Structure 1
Amino acid sequence: MKIAIGNDHAGTDYKNQIVKYLESRDIEVINYGTNEADSVDYPDFVHPVANDVENEKVHLGIIICGSGNGAAMTANKHQGIRAALCWTKELAQLAREHNDANVLSIPARFTSLPQAVEMVKTFLDTPFEGGRHQRRVDKIACQ
Structure 2
Amino acid sequence: MKSSIAIGADHAGFAYKQELVAYLEKEGYQVRDFGTYTEESTDYPDFAHPVATAVESGQFDQGILVCGSGNGVAITANKHQGIRAALCWLPELAALARQHNNANVLCLPERFVSPEVALECVKVFLATEFEGGRHQRRVGKMSC
Q: TM-score, normalised by structure 2?
A: 0.97
Letter of the structure 2 residue corresponding to residue 41 of structure 1:
D
Alignment-derived partner of residue 118 in structure 2: 116
Alignment of 1:134 with 2:136, yes or no, is: yes
CA shift for structure 1 position 7: 0.2
Offset at residue 117 of structure 1 (A): 0.6
Deviation for aligned residue 1:9: 0.3
User: 1:86, 1:3 → 2: CA distance?
Assistant: 17
- Select the residue among 42, 67, 82 that pairs with 2:84: 82
Distance 1:57 1:10 in 2: 26
Is there any run of 5+ residues in structure 2 with no aligned partner, and where? none
Structure 1 residue runs of 4 or more that deviate by more than 2 Å after TM superposition: none
CA RMSD in angstroms, aligned pairs only: 0.5
1:103 corresponds to 2:105: yes
The corresponding residue for 2:58 is: 56
Which of 30, 33, 43 does residue 32 from structure 2 map onto? 30
Output the CA distance in 1 between the equivalents of 2:138 and 2:42: 35
Q: 1:8 Cα deviation (Å)?
A: 0.2
Distance 1:20 1:6 in 2: 13
Aligned to 1:92: 94
Task: Return the offset for 1:46.
Answer: 0.6
Q: State the alpha-carbon separation in 1 of the partners of residues 143 and 119 from structure 2.
A: 29
Letter in 2 for 1:26: G
2:73 corresponds to: 71
Distance in structure 1 (CA, Å) of the matches to 2:142 and 2:18: 32
| Alpha-carbon shift at residue 102 of structure 1 (Å) | 0.2
- Consecutive unaligned residues in structure 1, runs of 5 or more: none
Aligned partners of 1:17, 1:37: CA distance in 2, in Å? Answer: 14
3-state SS of 1:106 partner? strand
What is the count of residue pairs matched by the alignment? Answer: 142
CA distance in 2, matches of 1:101, 1:113: 21
Aligned-residue offset at 1:33: 1.6
Hey, what's the Cα distance between the residues in 2 that align with 1:120 and 1:82? 15
Amino acid at match of 2:98: R
The answer to which of 17-26 and 100-109 deviates more is 17-26
AA in 2 matched with 1:3:
I
Paired residue secondary structure (2:112): coil
